[in-house]
Structure 1
Amino acid sequence: MDTRSTGIRELRAQLTDAVRRAAAGERTVVTRSGRPVAQLGPLDADAPALERLIGSGAVLPPRRTSEWRAPDPVPVWAGVRVDQVLRELRG
């Protein structure tokens, strides 16, 4: 497995490439002021499942149990301020 080291500023500039390399199996050690502070790499086979994360309290379960539906679109006319539209919608 390949490993490379990069600073935070460089990682920000090349995040897409770093994630692509992680998906391909490469680990990137992130440094701050030359000291390693984190790593970006591929998910391990034993990465935590959502149910285990919820059970351990690391993640809160979703409050909505039904499937999410996007709300109906609201027509907005050109030239109308957003605060006026919200006030009208909210009653």
Structure 2
Amino acid sequence: MKLKAIGQRELRNDNAEIMRRVEAGEGFVVTRNNKPVAQLLPYRPEAPSRPPLRDVQVLFGTLPPVDADRWEADRNAADEVFGADDPLEDPWQR
């Protein structure tokens, strides 16, 4: 987004028009004595922050245990269909 420079006086005198333009997606750099002092940008809600690790650990603690034999059988069955996918194997070394 290209920001247009506007003076503090222009912001004060034309604030309703400038706010409409910001609402429409335009952005401005506000200057005082030809020096940038602020940015006026459309509002974008912040992305939700990550939960604390302890909360994630509690959540994982409520999951059922993994049946290792069943997991291995499922993995072998998938390898029969799709081929082995060892992440440590370099396919270019074959």
TM-score normalised according to structure 1 size:
0.47
Structure in which a larger fraction of residues adopt helix:
2
Larger Rg: 2
TM-score normalised according to structure 2 size:
0.46
